[in-house]
Amino acid sequence: MSAWLPKVRVAACNVAPVFLDTAKTVQKTVSLIREAASNRADLVVFPETYIPAFPLWAAISAPIDNHSFFTRLAQESLLIDGKEMRTLQQACAQNHIYAHIGFNERSPHSTGCLWNSSVLISDSGQILNHHRKLMPTFYEKLVWSPGDGAGLRVVDTQRLGKIGSLICGENTNPLARWSLMAQGEQLHISSWPPVWPTRRVTTAAGKDAAAGAAGKQYDNLAANRTRSAAHCFEAKCFGVLCSGFMDKAMRNELIKHAPEAAATLDGITQGASLFLDPTGAQVGEEVVGEEGIAYGELDLNATIEGKQFHDVVGTGYQRYDIFDLRVNRRRLGPEGVFGEERREEMPAASPPPRFEEQKEEPRVTAPRAASTTGHGVGGLRII
């Protein structure tokens, strides 16, 4: 069979941030970008709000006790056009690698407005997509503001095929997932927290105080795998699951803040980073319960055959005369009230920043076949 679509080597970083320290976490991120590139990865992926941390304190202690953590998170969060983001863009350009990075984003208009955000950066340092999580989940609503549809985009990178992404619970949202399927997504990135506690554990053995099915802790591993596999099967795309890791430093700082949460955090299963094929089956390496990088070799030509059976985008298995989805991609924010004075939002595909002359020799890679899929986006109306 001829290679019509590219073969992609992906690195999924199952790693912990330097807890609530953006400068050091950015340094760690740059180091991991270099490591992935040296191991011939085309794309490196980082967890949900990796920079500077996932706000686990919102799960384990009362809102009235968490002001100091929220303040630190706001102070350490990134501006989309700030110096930290430019550093990450430069690292991608210097190492000739794409990166998908989760981060806490702060608003230029409000010191307390934060979003759960992600960016896809090209191998030339260009921001190809900037997404804000549509709706924070459960206790996350105490930290993040709702996002918008501006980042519900699939980017045709050619070198890596058509890439889309959703953050954590968005992968449970059928309409959000469909909006990516309808754009011909071939590689789906899903980012996840290290743990996601939903019930308080009161014993060191890790048993919930409430017995029975109603008292079960949320199964982070099974839930993430189920949602991602369903999306891969329905879209006939490859999946990259990338989870965070709670290291000892993070755990100890949280326990110092909320000692009663020790059994909860110690008894919960951490997430995994892995890869799924277009049938939902696992392929490539996996990292779970420790820091590390998982690698997967993904041949996007495998996305074709399954379309014979269930092509939920093509007319062979869809009814556009019955179903109609409209997506509002306007970037929402207070700047709109100022008319001509409004601050322009960075476009989905921003120009690459100007970097200093690279001192490193370019990484030698095999030629990549361009993505030539070009079917329309039937039934998806963009506002």
What domains can be seen in the chain, in order of their start residue? 7-202+218-334 (3.60.110.10)
Identify which of 74, 94, 87 has the alpha carbon closest to the alpha carbon of residue 119: 87
pLDDT in the model for residue 274: 98
pLDDT in the model for residue 383: 74
pLDDT in the model for residue 333: 84
Q: CA-CA distance, 17 to 21, in Å (whole number)? A: 8
pLDDT in the model for residue 2: 59
pLDDT in the model for residue 69: 98
Q: CA-CA distance, 46 to 282, in Å (whole number)? A: 19
pLDDT in the model for residue 43: 99
Per-residue tokens: 335: 């700047």
Q: CA-CA distance, 182 to 128, in Å (whole number)? A: 19
pLDDT in the model for residue 3: 72
Q: What is the spatial order of strands in the sheet that 127-132 belongs to?
A: 127-132, 114-121, 98-106, 43-45, 7-14, 292-299
Query: pLDDT tens string for the chain (383 positions)?
Result: 457 899 999 999 999 999 999 999 999 999 999 999 999 999 999 999 999 999 999 999 999 999 999 999 999 999 999 999 999 999 999 999 999 999 999 999 999 999 999 999 999 999 999 999 999 999 999 999 999 999 999 999 999 999 999 999 999 999 999 999 999 999 999 999 999 999 998 754 445 444 444 568 989 999 999 999 999 999 999 999 999 999 999 999 999 999 999 999 999 999 999 999 999 999 999 999 999 999 999 999 999 999 999 999 987 789 999 999 999 999 988 765 665 544 445 555 556 666 654 444 444 443 433 332 233 345 678 87
Q: What is the 3-state secondary structure (H, E, C) of 60-105?
A: HCCHHHCHHHHHHHHHHCECCCCHHHHHHHHHHHHHCCEEEEEEEE
pTM more than 0.85: yes
